[in-house]
Amino acid sequence: MSTQFDIFRILSGDESDADFEKKPVIIQGITGSFGSTHTKLMRSYGTNIAAGVTPGKGGSKFEDVPVFNTVEEAVKSSGSVISGIFVPAPFFYKAAKESLDNGIKLIVAIPEHVPIIDSIKVYEYAHKKGARMIGPNTPGVIIPEIMKVGIMPAQPFTKGNTVVFSRSGTLMYEVSFHLSNSGFGQRLGLGIGGDPINGTNLIDSFELIRNRGDVDSVVVVGEIGGDAEEQLADYIIKTNFSKPVVAYIAGRSAPKEKRMGHAGAIVYGNYGSADSKINNYAKADVPVANSPREVPLLLRAKIRK
């Protein structure tokens, strides 16, 4: 929990900055099929992709973005402190470590299937360096209508004052789509990631927006597995978190001890069950929607209270 880390300042900057809303971002793995597809989409959304890294392809260009062999060169050339990592999971640890060693302060870790021990090591190293990791196995982070670092589609998101935190990619899109349709635009959409270890977990996420005047409500899209929702409910109670919060939980009907698509979506005994999460949310007065479509309805009711 760090209140020092201001994700909005990092991603979009202050109005007085010359590059306000145009902060430079580097992409590690920019020439891979995944990295290149999404570099194009991020640029067309408005993200300032200032440099890319692919070892062995230094000196070339992707579209008109310069490509470097190392993060060191990419950072020197762009002045970026944000890196979107699109390399395959087995190479993630090395890529993340390299970025942290060269001044990156925010890693957006896209790859799925990163080994748990690698995630823990990167998380600990980032902590030591005063940096932050979002993910792994995350769709990324979006400030609607300004910029995104990630793989989320553009059209579900609209500008507004609700924040969406999600353990699932597609459900983040789906829920944001229903929110947008109901007039709840988003100040921020952040994918926690579907893995057991999250560089930025739900409580860290709440700390990011806790004191912001431009955020007036929060939607948390969770799922079975682990105790992130239980811990969050406890946090909401103990810290008197005052903004309206509505939740959704996927996987209520999933069988026990089966991994439901995400590495983190697995129930052992009562640990990680939907019931446990719903019960804890009830204690924190957080309503839980029965379907993505119900989220804006519950949010409206909660705000009226």
Partner 1 sequence: MRLLEYQGKELFNQFGIETPESVLAESAEDARIGSQKLGFPFVLKSQLTVGGRGKAGAIQKCKDSSELETKFGELLMKEVKGELPRGILLEKMVDIVKEIYLSIFLNRSKRCFSIIASSEGGIDIEQTDNKIIQDISIDGISGELANTIASNLNIPDKSKESFVNLLLNLFRVVVEKEAELAEINPLAIISDDSLLALDAKVIIDDNALFRHEDLQKYLYLSDLEKQAAKNGFSFVELEGDIAIIGNGAGLVMSTLDMVTAANGKAGAFLDFGGRATSETIYEALKVISRLPKIKTILVNLYGGIVRTDLVALGILEAYKNNILTVPVYARISGAQSERAKELLNGSKARLFDTVEEAINALVLKINNNQTK
Q: Cβ closer to partner 1: 78 or 166?
A: 166
Which distant-in-sequence residues (6+ apart) come within 8 Å of 84 by Cβ?
25, 26, 27, 28, 38, 42, 108, 110, 140, 149, 150
What is the contact mask toward partner 1 in residues 18 to 57, using x (rule: CB under 8 A)? Answer: ----------------------------------------
Q: Alpha-carbon torsion 257, 93, 202, 222, what sign? A: negative
Cβ contacts of 258-261, under 8 Å, gap ≥ 24 = 260/223, 260/224, 261/194
Contacts of partner 1 in 83-102 (CB under 8 A): 89-90
| Own/partner pairs, 157-160, CB within 8 angstroms, 24+ separation | 157/186, 157/189, 158/185, 158/186, 159/185, 159/186, 159/187, 160/184, 160/185, 160/186, 160/187
**What is the rounded distance in angstroms from the CA atom of residue 116 to the CA atom of residue 280?**
27
Among 38, 113, 178, 262, the active-site one is: 262
Site track 286-305 with partner 1 (rule: CB under 8 A), x = hit: ----xxxx------------
Single out the residue of 146, 237, 260, 303 in contact with partner 1 (rule: CB under 8 A): 260
Q: Binders of partner 1 among 188-207, rule CB under 8 A?
A: 194, 196-198, 201
The correct pick among 117, 275, 282, 301 for binding partner 1 (CB under 8 A) is 117
Q: Is 228 in the site for partner 1 (CB under 8 A)?
A: yes
Binding to partner 1 by residue 221, rule CB under 8 A?
A: yes
Window of 142-150, 237-245, 249-257, 275-283 that interacts with partner 1 by CB under 8 A: 249-257
Q: Which two tokens stand for residue 188?
A: 């921020």
Is residue 153 part of the contact set for partner 1 (CB under 8 A)? yes
Q: Rounded to whole angstroms, how far apart are CA atoms 86 and 34? A: 7
Please indicate whether residue 38 is annotated as part of the active site. Answer: no
Task: Give the C-alpha separation, 7 to 81, whole Å.
Answer: 11
Indicate whether 141 belongs to the interface with partner 1 (CB under 8 A). no
Which chain residues interact with partner 1 by CB under 8 A?
89-90, 112-117, 120-121, 123-124, 151-156, 166-174, 177, 194, 196-198, 201, 221, 223-224, 226-228, 231, 248, 250-255, 257-265, 269-271, 290-293
Residues with active-site annotation: 262
